[in-house]
């Protein structure tokens, strides 16, 4: 029969076997699940040797780990006992294992204290997240903690996100808990968990983002890298995780808000509801988004992101409904408002930079805004992506390719990924690399087949490589999605670089798109 959970008392300490809590003079201290498992086994076999194999099986059941992991945990256990003079109570037995050699141990069925049951914390109105300590199976011990610190720092730069401080989330180290319970205890809507594993010269990091309301997994990714410079690796993965989380959270929040009654929406929720329609790039959905964005701006006139999204929505209308000056000037006006009100909002500055470059044709102002956004939050994938589009139409092919690759590296499944591939297609076309251009155009089209510009890129690149029948099919899709599309209007609307405009226009005419 399995023995019920017990309390082990020794000296001024008590170990609650049920919770893993170690108390010193009645005050609980953080020990962790593995440390508690090791201590419990040593106390159960007090004064007797315990083999390394037995200890490893207790702390890592069914998992093959190096002896160094045990050494690290024993050292942490000794530090936890130092406050009561017990740092030497755990003896090392060379080539045999370890032994508890402290004061006598008594075992009772009475818990050492009644654990508190605090009321669940209220979840903030804005999206909230806790990043839990990552599990780590090998040296160096600072690698996982460094990644978590960097991820928390990166997420804290996102203005619309409430991030729990590391000291609060650290209490979950080595503890197994349901994400719903974590959400209640920390008062957050989302939880990020992860693990770091090292094997020879490879480091593998697994991360998962979960909704604490439903317990459902929202996003997961694995990063497999050569160890090399571990500090650089830590920075790279932390940046990649932060970049991927933002669009994943936006999608999750948008889904949550769609389930709410429309009359209950405030400015923030109106903006989030409008986001997907703006991201579509097409005029009908952008017009619908503007209805929501105008309501948001009425509620909060200095809402920078509302202005930034309104700028892009008007840009979509300008290019796809006949180049009306009212839409171009509205786009520029909202972009300037986004800069004015959003000096600390990376996404608002990103939207503003795109409109300033594409609608005001002020590329210098555009990249000042993009660079300001990236200075605030280097993981803002959208800044790299939209910057690549502005650079591509300006004829800066190599910069466009570089920026698009950076953006896709941070957020490969971003709603705007199609635009990064468009920038690559246009840039390869400009450099007469037509096969590479068509490959990028296909990726763009796959990412967003409902956007006419992805078919424009495909028609031009296929015509350039002589695949005329397929190019004409792509051209027909352009006109089906955007009947008013004209080559001259597109090239003038974005102030396309003259040399690129000549080549690109010629290819589109060959495909059958009207001048």
Looking only at the bridges linking them, the beta strands covering 190-199 and 135-136 are parallel
Confidence band of 32 (pLDDT split at 50, 70, 90)? low
Average pLDDT over residues 141-170: 74
Fold agreement between 260-378 and 396-515: yes
Q: Which of 21-35, 51-65, 434-448 has the lowest mean pLDDT?
A: 21-35
More confident: 76 or 329: 329
Which CATH number fits the domain 128-258, given the four candidates 1.20.1740.10, 3.40.50.720, 3.40.50.10610, 1.10.3720.10?
3.40.50.10610
Inter-residue contact 422 to 444 (CB < 8 Å) = yes
Inter-residue contact 13 to 23 (CB < 8 Å) = yes
Backbone angles phi, psi at 499, to 5 degrees: -65, -45
**Which residue from 27, 18, 140 is spatially nearest to 80, judged by alpha carbons?**
27
DSSP 8-state symbol, 420:
H
d(CA 286, CA 275): 9
Share above pLDDT 90 across residues of the chain, in percent, rounded to a whole number: 36
Q: Which of 235-244, 306-315, 487-496, 503-512 has the lowest mean pLDDT?
A: 235-244
Angle made by CA atoms 479, 482, 483, in degrees to the nearest 5 = 60
User: How much is the pLDDT for 175?
Assistant: 61
Q: Which of 87-96, 105-114, 173-182 has the lowest mean pLDDT?
A: 105-114
Average pLDDT over all residues of the chain:
83
Q: Which of 101-110, 336-345, 471-480 has the lowest mean pLDDT?
A: 101-110
Where do the H-state alpha helices sit in 359-396? 363-376, 381-393
3-state SS string for 98-121? EEECCCCEEEECCCCCCCCCCCCC
Fold type of domain 396-515: 1.25.40
- Give per-residue pLDDT as tens, 366-409: 999 999 998 888 878 889 999 999 999 999 999 999 999 988 87
Confidence band of 415 (pLDDT split at 50, 70, 90)? confident
Inter-residue contact 77 to 39 (CB < 8 Å) = yes
- Give per-residue pLDDT as tens, 114-139: 444 444 556 666 788 888 888 876 65
Cβ-Cβ contacts under 8 Å for 295 (sequence gap 6 or more): 267, 270
Average pLDDT over residues 477-494: 91
Q: CA 155 from chain center: how many Å?
A: 8
Confidence band of 411 (pLDDT split at 50, 70, 90)? confident
d(CA 210, CA 190): 6
Looking only at the bridges linking them, the beta strands covering 27-29 and 162-163 are unpaired
User: How much is the pLDDT for 141?
Assistant: 61
Burial class (CB in 10 A: 0-12, 13-18, 19+), 263: exposed
CATH class (in words) of the domain with range 7-108:
mainly alpha
- Give per-residue pLDDT as tens, 432-469: 999 999 999 999 989 888 889 999 999 999 999 999 99
387: which 2 tokens?
A: 């910057």
- Which pTM was predicted? 0.65
User: How much is the pLDDT for 475?
Assistant: 94
d(CA 80, CA 23): 10
- Give per-residue pLDDT as tens, 310-328: 999 999 999 888 889 999 9
Domain ranges of the chain: 7-108, 128-258, 260-378, 396-515
Please say whether the dihedral angle defined by the alpha carbons of residues 104, 106, 111 and 112, taken in this order, is positive or negative.
Answer: negative
Q: Which of 23-37, 98-112, 188-202, 493-507 has the lowest mean pLDDT?
A: 23-37
Q: Is the pLDDT of residue 233 over 80?
A: no
Confidence band of 183 (pLDDT split at 50, 70, 90)? confident
Confidence band of 110 (pLDDT split at 50, 70, 90)? low
Average pLDDT over residues 336-354: 92
The CA distances from residue 388 to 77, 322, 494, in Å, are 52, 25, 14
Angle made by CA atoms 266, 267, 269, in degrees to the nearest 5 = 70
DSSP 8-state symbol, 132:
P
Fold type of domain 260-378: 1.25.40
User: How much is the pLDDT for 466?
Assistant: 93
User: How much is the pLDDT for 477?
Assistant: 92
**Which residue from 294, 192, 201 is spatially nearest to 246, judged by alpha carbons?**
192
User: How much is the pLDDT for 127?
Assistant: 80
Please say whether the dihedral angle defined by the alpha carbons of residues 457, 458, 462 and 468, taken in this order, is positive or negative.
Answer: negative
């Amino acid at each position: 029969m399995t023995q019920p959970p017990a309390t082990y008392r020794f000296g001024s300490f008590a170990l609650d076997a049920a919770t893993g809590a170690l108390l010193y003079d009645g005050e609980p201290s953080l020990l962790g699940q593995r440390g508690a498992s090791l201590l419990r086994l040593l106390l159960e076999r007090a004064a007797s040797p315990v083999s390394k194999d037995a200890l490893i099986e207790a702390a890592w059941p069914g998992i093959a780990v190096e002896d160094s992991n045990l050494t690290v945990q024993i050292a942490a256990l000794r530090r936890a006992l130092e406050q009561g003079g017990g740092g030497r109570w755990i003896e090392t037995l060379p080539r045999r294992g370890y032994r508890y050699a402290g004061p006598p141990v008594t075992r009772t069925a009475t818990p050492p204290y009644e654990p508190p049951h605090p009321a669940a914390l209220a979840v903030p109105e804005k999206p909230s997240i806790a990043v839990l300590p990552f599990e780590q199976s090998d040296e160096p011990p600072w690698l996982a903690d460094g990644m978590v610190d960097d991820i928390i720092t990166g997420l804290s730069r996102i203005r619309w996100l409430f991030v729990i401080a590391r000291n609060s989330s650290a209490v979950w180290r080595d503890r197994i808990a349901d994400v719903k319970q974590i959400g209640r205890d920390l008062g957050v809507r989302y939880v990020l968990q992860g693990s770091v594993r090292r094997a020879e010269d490879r480091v593998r990091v697994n991360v998962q983002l979960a909704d604490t309301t439903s317990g459902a997994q929202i996003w997961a990714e694995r990063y497999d890298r050569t160890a090399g410079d571990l500090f650089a690796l830590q920075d790279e993965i932390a940046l990649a995780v932060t970049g991927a989380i933002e669009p994943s959270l936006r999608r999750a929040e948008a889904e949550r808000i769609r389930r709410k009654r429309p009359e209950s929406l405030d400015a923030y929720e109106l903006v989030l509801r409008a986001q997907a329609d703006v991201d579509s790039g097409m005029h009908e959905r952008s017009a619908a988004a503007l209805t929501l964005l105008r309501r948001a701006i009425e509620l909060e006139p200095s809402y920078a992101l509302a202005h930034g999204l309104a700028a892009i929505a008007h840009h979509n209308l300008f290019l796809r409904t006949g180049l009306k000056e009212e839409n171009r000037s509205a786009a520029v006006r909202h972009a300037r408002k986004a800069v004015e009100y959003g000096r600390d909002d990376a996404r608002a500055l990103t939207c503003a930079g795109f409109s300033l470059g594409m609608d005001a044709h002020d590329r210098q102002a555009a990249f000042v805004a993009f660079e300001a956004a990236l200075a605030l939050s280097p993981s803002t994938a959208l800044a790299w992506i939209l910057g690549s589009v502005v650079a591509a139409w300006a004829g800066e092919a190599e910069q466009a390719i570089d920026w698009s690759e950076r953006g896709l590296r941070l957020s490969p499944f971003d709603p705007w990924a199609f635009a990064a591939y468009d920038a690559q297609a246009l840039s390869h076309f400009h450099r007469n690399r037509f096969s590479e251009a068509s490959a990028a155009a296909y990726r763009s089209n796959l990412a967003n087949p409902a956007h006419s510009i992805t078919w424009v890129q495909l028609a031009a690149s296929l015509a350039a490589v002589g695949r005329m029948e397929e190019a004409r099919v792509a051209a027909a899709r352009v006109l089906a999605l955007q009947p008013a599309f004209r080559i001259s209007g597109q090239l003038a609307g974005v102030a396309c670089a003259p040399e690129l405009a000549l080549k690109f226009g010629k290819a589109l005419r060959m495909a059958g798109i009207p001048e």
